[in-house]
């Protein structure tokens, strides 16, 4: 799962989760940003593509390392 969170003063404003597939806001400002970003198809497709870039390329490495240490 790919998660990209946006914080300000240690308060989480907005989060993108690949399992949900969209941005979720946690504050009034974060909700407005999430609605704006969710209405932008290029932003959503870019964030969904990040799962393949970060997660899927490294999952086998992490899995192999976990098996060799146990």
The helix/strand/coil state of 10 is coil
pTM here?
A: 0.74
Residue-wise pLDDT tens digits, 21-59: 999 999 999 999 999 999 999 999 999 888 888 777 766
Q: Which of 35, 32, 12 is nearest to 22 (CA)?
A: 35
Per domain, the residue ranges of the chain are 3-68
| CATH number among 3.40.50.300, 3.10.320.10, 1.10.10.10, 3.40.50.11540, domain 3-68 | 3.10.320.10
Residue 62 has pLDDT above 70, yes or no: no
Angle formed by the axes of helices 28-38 and 41-50, to 10°?
Answer: 100
């Amino acid at each position: 799962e790919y998660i990209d969170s946006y914080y300000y003063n240690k308060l989480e404003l907005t989060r993108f989760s690949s399992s949900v597939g969209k941005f979720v806001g946690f504050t009034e400002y974060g909700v407005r940003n999430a609605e704006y970003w969710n209405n932008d198809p290029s932003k959503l497709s870019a964030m969904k593509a990040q799962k393949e870039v970060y997660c899927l390329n490294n999952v086998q490495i992490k899995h192999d390392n976990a098996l060799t240490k146990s």
